[in-house]
C-alpha cells in the first residue's frame, strides 16, 4: 500500500502540473477572440509585434497569472483550515472568512472612500482575521471546546450575520453597489501587473507559512494529547497555520473578490490522490486550486462568448455538488 501510494504521488504531480499548464495555455488563447498557435508564438517570440492578436495575448497574461495565484492561495488556505479545524467542510467561505473580508472592503468603500487595491488588501486581511477569531471563539464556547461541527455551525451563523451587514451597508448607497457588485461575484477579469505586484508578497508569505506548518498539522491530526506527547507546540502550530490561511484568503479576496468552493473541493480531491500527509496535501492543493480556478475562468469566457461568466460563478456551480457529496458521506457523531 505504501509503495503504491509513493508511486502514485509522482504520477499525480506530473498529471496535475500538466493540467495546470494546459489550463494556463487555454487561458491565454481563449476569450472574445480565439488566438491561434502561430499568433501565440508571434506574441511571445516577437516583442515588437503590435497586431490585435498579439495585444490580446499580452492582455491575458496578467489575468492568467492572477488566476493561477489566487487559485493556489484558495486551495492552500482551504487545506490549512480543514487541517486546523479537523473539519472536512471547512474552507474560507464556509467559515465566514471570505464574508468578513468582504464586509471590511464594503465598509472601506462606503465610509472611507477607498478605491485602491493596497488599501483593499489591508482591509480584507483585517476583516478576515477578526472573523476567524470570532468564529473560533463562538465555536469553542461551551462544553467540549471547538469541535468540527460547532466550528461549522459558528461559521454558518457568522456568515449569515455578516452577509446581512453587507446588505445593510450597500442598500442605501447605489454608488457603492455599482462599484462593489462586480467585485462581489469573484473574478480575475480586472487583473493588471500593478495589482499582481501588490498582492504577491502577501500570497508568498502565506504560502511559505502554510508549507512550513505541514509537519505540525500532521501531528494535530492525531489529537492534541498525542501531539503534545510528540513534542509539538500545539498553540504555536495552530496559530502559525491560521495566520497563513488568513493571509492567503484575505489577499486573494481583496484582489479577486470572494470566490467560493475552491478551498472546499480541491483538498478532498487531493487527499484521494496523495493520502492525508499534509506535507503532500498542502502543495498539491495549491496546484489543484490554481488549475481549477484557471480552468473555471476559461470556461466562463467560452460558454458566454462574446461576454463572459465570472469565475466565482463557475466555481460555485462546480463546488456545490462536491459539498453536498461530502456532507452526505461524513459521519458527524455530534449530531
Within-domain flag for 28: no
Q: Which of 272, 328, 318 is nearest to 293 (CA)?
A: 318
CA distance linking residue 13 with residue 326, whole number of Å: 24
Residue with cell string 472611507: 112
Average pLDDT over residues 6-30: 88
Q: Is 276 exposed, middle or buried (0-12, 13-18, 19+ CB in 10 A)?
A: exposed
Residue written as cell 476569450?
31
Q: What pLDDT does 226 receive?
A: 79
Give the whole-angstrom CA distance, residue 241 versus residue 80: 6
pLDDT the model gives residue 291:
96
DSSP 213: T
The reported pLDDT for the residue numbered 296 is 93
Sign of torsion, CA 255 69 87 314? positive
Residue 49 belongs to some domain of the structure: yes
What angle, 0 to 180 degrees and rounded to 10, lies between the N-to-C axes of helices 278-303 and 193-212?
Answer: 150
Note the pLDDT of residue 200.
Answer: 94
Q: How confident is the model at residue 4 (pLDDT cuts 50, 70, 90)?
A: low
Asked which of 149-153, 203-207, 287-291, 293-297 is least confident by mean pLDDT, the reply is: 149-153
Per the domain annotation, does 24 fall within a domain? Answer: no
Contact 23, 63 (CB under 8 A): no
More confident of the two residues 222 and 170: 170
What is the average pLDDT value for the chain, to the nearest integer?
A: 83
Reference 118, options 187, 207, 202, 209; nearest CA is 202
pTM (predicted TM-score): 0.87
Structural domain of residue 11, as residue ranges?
A: 2-19+34-294+308-329
**In total, how many domains does the chain have?**
1
In a domain, 175, yes or no: yes
* Residues 138-156, mean pLDDT to the nearest whole number: 79
pLDDT digits (tens, 9 = 90+) for 228-278: 777 778 778 888 998 999 999 999 988 888 888 898 889 988 988 888 889
Nearest to 220 by CA among 86, 77, 88, 87: 86
Q: For residues 150 and 278, which has the higher predicted lDDT (pLDDT)?
A: 278
pLDDT at 199: 92
112 or 127, greater pLDDT? 127
The C-alpha cell at 218 is 500532521
- What's the CATH code of the domain at 111? 1.10.3470.10
Residue 205 lies in a domain: yes
- Cα distance between residue 101 and residue 92, in whole Å: 10
SS3 content of the chain, % helix, strand, coil (to 5): 80, 0, 20
User: Which of 148-157, 228-237, 286-295 ranks highest by mean pLDDT?
Assistant: 286-295
- The pLDDT tens digits for 170-217 are 888 777 776 676 667 778 887 888 889 999 999 999 999 999 988 888
In a domain, 52, yes or no: yes
Q: Which of 28, 117, 22 is nearest to 64 (CA)?
A: 28
- The 10s digit of each residue's pLDDT in 33-87 is 677 666 776 666 666 666 676 677 778 889 999 999 999 999 999 999 999 888 7
| CA neighbor of 244 nearest in space, from 99, 118, 72, 68 | 72
Examine residue 303 and state whether it is found in any structural domain, yes or no: no
Q: Confirm whether 214 is domain-assigned.
A: yes
Looking up cell 472592503, which residue turns up? 105
Q: Which letter does DSSP use for residue 281 in this model?
A: H
Amino acid at each position: 500500500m505504501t509503495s503504491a501510494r509513493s508511486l502514485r504521488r509522482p504520477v499525480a504531480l506530473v498529471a496535475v502540473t500538466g493540467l495546470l499548464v494546459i489550463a494556463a495555455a487555454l487561458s491565454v488563447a481563449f476569450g472574445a477572440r480565439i488566438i491561434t498557435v502561430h499568433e501565440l508564438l508571434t506574441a511571445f517570440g516577437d516583442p515588437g509585434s503590435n497586431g490585435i492578436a498579439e495585444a490580446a495575448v499580452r492582455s491575458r497574461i496578467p489575468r492568467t497569472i492572477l488566476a493561477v495565484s489566487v487559485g493556489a492561495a484558495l486551495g492552500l488556505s482551504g487545506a490549512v483550515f480543514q487541517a486546523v479545524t479537523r473539519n472536512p467542510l471547512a474552507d474560507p467561505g464556509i467559515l465566514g472568512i471570505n464574508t468578513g473580508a468582504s464586509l471590511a472592503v464594503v465598509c472601506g468603500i462606503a465610509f472611507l472612500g477607498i478605491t485602491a487595491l493596497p488599501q483593499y488588501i489591508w482591509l480584507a486581511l483585517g476583516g478576515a482575521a477578526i472573523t476567524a477569531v470570532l468564529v473560533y471563539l463562538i465555536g469553542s464556547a461551551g462544553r467540549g471546546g471547538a469541535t468540527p461541527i460547532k466550528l461549522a455551525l459558528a461559521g454558518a451563523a457568522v456568515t449569515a450575520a455578516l452577509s446581512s451587514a453587507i446588505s445593510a451597508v450597500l442598500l442605501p448607497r447605489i454608488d457603492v453597489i455599482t462599484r462593489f457588485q462586480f467585485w462581489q461575484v469573484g473574478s480575475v477579469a480586472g487583473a493588471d501587473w500593478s495589482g499582481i505586484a501588490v498582492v504577491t508578497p502577501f500570497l508568498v508569505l502565506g504560502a511559505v507559512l502554510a508549507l512550513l506548518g505541514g509537519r505540525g498539522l500532521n501531528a494535530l491530526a492525531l489529537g492534541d494529547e498525542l501531539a503534545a506527547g510528540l513534542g509539538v507546540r500545539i498553540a504555536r502550530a495552530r496559530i502559525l497555520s491560521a495566520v497563513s490561511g488568513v493571509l492567503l484568503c484575505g489577499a486573494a479576496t481583496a484582489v479577486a473578490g470572494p470566490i467560493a468552493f475552491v478551498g472546499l473541493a480541491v483538498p478532498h480531491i487531493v487527499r484521494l490522490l496523495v493520502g492525508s500527509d499534509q506535507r503532500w496535501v498542502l502543495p498539491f492543493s495549491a496546484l489543484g486550486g490554481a488549475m481549477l480556478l484557471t480552468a473555471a475562468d476559461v470556461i466562463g469566457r467560452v460558454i458566454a462568448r462574446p461576454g463572459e461568466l465570472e469565475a466565482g460563478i463557475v466555481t460555485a456551480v462546480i463546488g456545490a455538488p462536491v459539498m453536498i457529496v461530502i456532507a452526505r458521506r461524513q459521519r458527524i457523531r455530534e449530531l
